[in-house]
Amino acid sequence: MFNVENGQWNQLQLQQDAKFIRELVFIQEQDIPEQDEWDDQDPVPQHFVVYDQDRAIATARLLQNHSVGRVAVIKEYRGQGIGQLIMLDIIDYAQKQNRPFLQLSSQVHAISFYEKLGFVTQGDEYDECGIPHIEMVMPIIK
């Protein structure tokens, strides 16, 4: 049984779990330099972590500017709907906060995943940390 928890970066367990997942996925697996992964935005947003019982398996964050980022699912849990679970929780959270839209910088290989959730691409593809990305946006419909 999977459950999603959200909270602030100052909640130590949530922070440790989000960091663990991001280190596995972004730093180790995708070779993103540590200095590019950690930024001054982490203390500000709402963080989301998916748990399988007590094991942290996915994470994402939602910034004040309506930007979703650092969406990551550990390898052995991919393809099981975990990414959709965390994104639907973020969308629900954004709706309850009356946010007008959500935006994100998608890795190009994940475009169809986000499109199925209602995001649309905008602009041109660009490189971020050696990985092709594209901006995507989704209006929040009540």
Per-residue pLDDT tens over the stretch 3-21: 999 999 988 899 999 999 9
Predicted confidence at residue 66, as pLDDT, reads 96
Domains defined for the chain, CATH in brackets: 2-139 (3.40.630.30)
Per-residue pLDDT tens over the stretch 12-58: 899 999 999 999 999 999 988 888 888 888 887 899 999 999 999 99
Per-residue pLDDT tens over the stretch 55-82: 999 999 999 999 999 999 999 999 999 9
Q: Is the dihedral of CA 16, 20, 21, 25 positive or negative?
A: positive
